[in-house]
Amino acid sequence: MTDPNDQKAEGGTQPRRKIPRVEQAAILLMTLGEADAAEILKHMGPKEVQRVGVAMAQMKDVSKDDVSYVLDQFVDAVGGQTGLGVGNDDYIRAMLTQALGEDKAASLIDRILIGGNTTGLDTLKWMEPRAVADIIRYEHPQIQAIVISYLDPDQSAEILATLDEKVRLDVVMRVASLESVQPQALQELNDILEKQFSGGSSTQTSRIGGVKRAADIMNFMDRSVEGTLMDSIKDMDPDLASTIEDLMFVFDNLKDIDDRGIQSLLREVSSDVLVVALKGADDAVKDKIFNNMSKRAAELLQDDLEAKGPVRVSEVEAAQKDIITIARRMAEAGEITLGGSGEEMM
């Protein structure tokens, strides 16, 4: 798919390919020494490490011109921040080993996963959702709700999916009604978890949970699980269910993002993912996408859609979730504003 914003490469006539931000970060880290790269990665979260690491693992034949461009961009934008994707310990180990080789990766992984200041709750962010579910499965529902509220919504959604249906409903209801936790209580929970994991200084975060958090978590659930859970919430508290629904951001809400936001979003989404996601989209969303592309790019996308053929619903949902995740990450970073009722105006 042609990017209308491609720039001309210096000293040549061919347009420079658009380098996604995560790939720029990967190129920058690969130009640094192991120790310096590790120091940077120590200050990044699990999601960010995975996104950058995947980009490093997929990197092939990076030109000197691309490296120079990335370094110039970095110098110009020193002090900026970029929010990135999702991850877990085992996956990061395998990915960095593939990218750097076993010997170099071993030292880097230790620096990343052990060298940082990690609290008991933060350690859970590096774990597989099923492993976290096993840890909290027999805890009091209020403890489960605090943990679910503290973790990122996509991870929390996967954890809830492994719990019993009645427990899942109880926890989500508690998350929705949770407004704050006393720092001392949060510290005690950290202390309990840090007996099982190596930890550092604790955070003082006390405001977690709430209806918006519940909506964020449900955004990442499979539709079947989310639908069943929403029906149960409606039975118990129709007003709460209505509020959660109003706060949820779904794929169809993309049509409510302004044109500039859609254009920024499209630069972060791969063509393959976009084609699959649009196979299950309504006409309003498709029109929004097509209208924010160059004429040539829109024609190519339409051709790809027609040539794609039937796609499994699960694949469509996965692709749409990928795009929603990118949109929410960009919104949190202040790069776009999500329209509709799913987000407050920024």
Cβ atoms within 10 Å, residue 309 = 7
Burial class (CB in 10 A: 0-12, 13-18, 19+), 124: buried
Helix (H) or strand (E) holding 128: none
> 289 falls in which pLDDT band (50, 70, 90)?
very high
* DSSP line for 300-328: HHHHHHHHH----HHHHHHHHHHHHHHHH
pTM score, two decimals? 0.46
The position carrying tokens 């990766």 is 105
- Highest average pLDDT, of 74-83, 84-93, 186-195, 271-280, comes from 271-280
Locate the domains of the chain by residue range: 7-113, 120-247, 251-332
- The reply to whether domains 120-247 and 251-332 share a CATH topology is yes
Q: What is the pLDDT of residue 105?
A: 61
> 15 falls in which pLDDT band (50, 70, 90)?
low
Radius of gyration of the CA atoms of the chain, in A: 21
> 169 falls in which pLDDT band (50, 70, 90)?
very high
Cβ atoms within 10 Å, residue 64 = 7
CATH architecture of 120-247: Orthogonal Bundle (1.10)
Question: Is 7's pLDDT higher than 60?
Answer: no
State mean pLDDT over 130-140. 84
CATH of region 251-332: 1.10.220.30
State mean pLDDT over 64-84. 64
pLDDT tens-place string over residues 292-336 = 988 898 889 888 888 888 888 888 888 888 888 888 778 777 788
Q: Which residue, 124, 147, 274, 272, is CA-closest to 199? A: 124
Angle at 50 between CA 45 and CA 52, to 5 degrees: 95
State mean pLDDT over 259-283. 89
pLDDT tens-place string over residues 217-239 = 887 787 778 888 888 998 988 88
More confident residue, 112 or 47: 47
Task: List beta partners, residue 15.
Answer: 8
